Amino acid sequence: MKMSNYYYYIDVVHRMCWKYPETFHYATSSQDIEEAFRLKKVASLIGVEGGHSIDSSLGTLRTMYYLGARYLTLTHSCNTPWADNWLVDTGSELPENGGLSAFGKQLIVEMNRLGMLIDLAHVPVKVMHQVLDMSKAPVIFSHSSAYAVCQHKRNVPDDVLAKVNQTEGIVMVNFYNDYVTCSKTATLSDVADHFDHIKKMGGAGIIGFGGDYDGVTRLPEGLENVSKYPHLVAELLRRGWTDDEVEAALAKNLLRVMKKVEEVRDSLASTLPDDLPIPYEDVKNPCRTSYGYPDSGAVHSLSTLTLLLALALQAFMTITA
């Protein structure tokens, strides 16, 4: 998807919240979500699915944050110039970055500084471990299920679930049949099996709902649309989940993660933004354009660009004087 399309969709969220204020409440923080609950409105957050959208630019990452984006899925289904994607674990694509490149690690640090949630759905296991080991803030898996229940590479293995528990993150269960049963058919009960397994491995505190209704083509019988959520809640209660555990999975676990991410952001308030660009030789990749770099491949430093601008302004003033 072209980077400009992401800005279009960000604009759509803003315009929808403006046009239908009785229904939607624009949210960029945990406090905003809680306010939406109080007002009995839909909390409307902005997320970016796929690190290719930032075009390997920390400036673009920051711009998206300033426009309201509060999470970034590091990859989608192609290797960016700085992070490998989940297809590497299937063998259908070759690794290009050894998981995260040096710039990929810069990105994690900058996301911590901004207060942007790191989403590890769509990344290979190596990247899962790298990020969990280095991030100062907890992470999310916005739409992934349990690998032990369905051995699909988009799902989360048990050793990673244990680490998510240790780092106080969250795994939000995906409803896509292929990730639920590793087949084209599934039922609501099959989805509940993933909830049970994740709870067994990491506790009810690391679980969320990540239906992925706008991104899949096959859904379980009994969970065909969001109106069926209460049926899944009833199934979890039938299986012995407490009211508090279900409430946590529905919202409070994600709120806890967001609050911790905001705390880490606040602790880094005196840290300057990272302005070191990715090396040009690293961006010759289908998941990144060469836009913004001169034809020679040389990258001007910020001080050089400032000097050139100053000289240009001086020349203009001399001519017009």
Q: What's the pLDDT score for residue 318? A: 45
Tell me which of 25 and 285 has the higher pLDDT.
25
% of the chain beyond a pLDDT of 90: 83
Which pLDDT value is given to residue 7?
Answer: 83
For residue 257, give every residue at least 6 positions away whose Cβ sits within 8 Å of its Cβ, in sequence order, or none: 117, 138, 139, 140, 168, 169, 170
Per-residue pLDDT tens digits for 192-201: 999 999 999 9
| pTM for the structure as a whole | 0.88
Percent of the chain with pLDDT over 70: 88
**Exposed e or buried b for every residue in 239-278, given b needs 16+ CB within 10 A?**
eebeeebbebbbeebbbbbbebbbebbeebeeeeebeebb
The whole-chain average pLDDT of the chain stands at: 91
Residue 147 in this model has a pLDDT that exceeds 70: yes
> Which domains does the chain carry?
3-320 (3.20.20.140)
**DSSP-derived 3-state class of residue 19:** helix
**pLDDT given for residue 302 in this prediction:** 40
Q: What is the pLDDT of residues 178-222, one digit of tens each?
A: 999 999 999 999 999 999 999 999 999 999 999 999 889 999 999
Residue 15 pLDDT exceeds 80: yes
Q: Given a cut of 80, is residue 230 above it in pLDDT? A: yes
| Per-residue pLDDT, 283 | 85
Q: Read off the pLDDT band of 300 (50, 70, 90).
A: very low
Q: What is the pLDDT of residues 76-130, one digit of tens each?
A: 999 999 999 999 999 999 999 999 999 999 999 999 999 999 999 999 999 999 9
How far from the centroid of its chain's Cα atoms is residue 60's Cα? Answer: 15
Lowest mean pLDDT among 72-76, 92-96, 304-308: 304-308
